[in-house]
Amino acid sequence: MKKKIQFLMVVVILMFNTVNAQEHNHHESHNGIELGVGTGVFYTMHEKEASSGIHVHGLYNINKIALGLGYESVFAHELHQNVSAIFAYRPIESIELSIAPGILLENEETGKNLPSLHFEAIYLFEVGKLFHIGPVVSYSFTEADQHIMAGIHLGIPLFREDHD
């Protein structure tokens, strides 16, 4: 488990040090608040089952960086609920990578709250200034379980300070 955490931390450090060679000459700033919703198929490794779930977050975007809070619920045999702080980065305009340390809330299986770590990658298609949509994949783990998710993400700007 310790080697997994070390490996994931190296991945995160590299993610945030990505050289943005594909940056467009015309960069549009997306500063502001975003409400995001993701849903898809979740596979929990401990229970060895696929189930549905939802992830909701609120982010404050500052250029390529975003900070916020998230909530995730996986409707597996045992309900998995997680709250987290989110740190997101857009190395290029259409890709968002995030890491979210959090807490898996107590359920019948765990009997206690557990620390968790969540990684997510989204490919974004901007639909004007109305919203963005795209495929999302994520990986989350605690000492009790791990799950992966593949699905769809929808992001809606609630307040945007556009600077062309």
CATH number of the domain within which 121 lies: 2.40.160.20
Cα separation, 82 vs 116, in Å, equals 8
Confirm whether 118 is domain-assigned. yes
Confirm whether 2 is domain-assigned. no
Mean per-residue pLDDT of the chain: 83
Number of C-beta neighbours around residue 59 at 10 A:
23
Confirm whether 23 is domain-assigned. no
Confirm whether 124 is domain-assigned. yes
Q: How far is CA 42 from CA 60, 78, 83, 140, 149, in A?
A: 26, 13, 17, 10, 4
Using one digit for the tens of pLDDT, what is the confidence trace for 80-118? 899 999 999 999 989 999 999 999 998 777 789 999 999
Confirm whether 127 is domain-assigned. yes
Confirm whether 53 is domain-assigned. yes
Domain that holds residue 81: 33-163
**How close are the terminal C-alpha atoms of the chain, in Å?**
45
- What total number of domains does the chain contain? 1
Torsion-angle region of residue 84: left (phi > 0), alpha (psi -120 to 50) or beta? Answer: beta
Instruction: Record the pTM.
Output: 0.77
Using one digit for the tens of pLDDT, what is the confidence trace for 52-83? 999 999 999 988 999 999 999 999 887 889 99
